[in-house]
Amino acid sequence: MILPNDFLHLDGDSIQRKLLNLKYEYIQRFIPSGSLILDVGCGEGEFLSLLKNKYKVVGIDLKKSGKRDFEYIVMDAHCLAFKNSVFDAVILSDMLEHAENPFEIIKEVGRILKDNGIVFFSTVNKNPFLYPLLKILDLVYSQKNWLPHRYSQLLSPPKLHRMFSETNMKKLDMKGVIVGVRKARTINRVGLYYIGVYKK
């Protein structure tokens, strides 16, 4: 379980850095070097700026913003303008909980993934006991590129698993995440925030 002290001693930028480093280390266990990766909802592209040193990367987002050092396309994740079976891996990092229809996005991701392709996700757990903490974090980090969360849009692990299963993807791994003083780390029990990998 993530406790307030695990977050509130940090500034928003520090949390983002620690989570990015954790995600980068984590996905290397599942995605081989040189793979073609699509980051759906890439934002400013901080994650892809790390990944581009080891992978071929493309980022999409609804917003057109600053200069990026990777291929970027303005695109709606609910209707991906790519051919079938194009990408080796897709990243859904901190975006499903903000999406209008996450299941449609997951279906589209399944379509554009090659056979045996990998989906990495990170998201916030739908848990009524942890939601007050999330609202505190929303308030504290509202000026730090932190999108606010609505309880109705959050995804519990069982619900997210059903969405992936209904698109014929198999779970390879799912972990909870704790952000500590020095770094972020994974744990076996899912708390407020969790990450995982599915395979087509």
What domains can be seen in the chain, in order of their start residue?
4-199 (3.40.50.150)
Given this model, what pLDDT does residue 9 score?
Answer: 41
Strand partners, 87: 113
Residue 78 is inside which H or E element, if any? Answer: none
- Per-residue pLDDT at 97: 85
Q: What is the value of pTM for the model shown?
A: 0.84
> For position 3, what pLDDT does the model report?
38
Residues of the chain with pLDDT under 50: 1-12
* Residue of 85, 13, 78 lying closest to 46 (CA atoms): 13
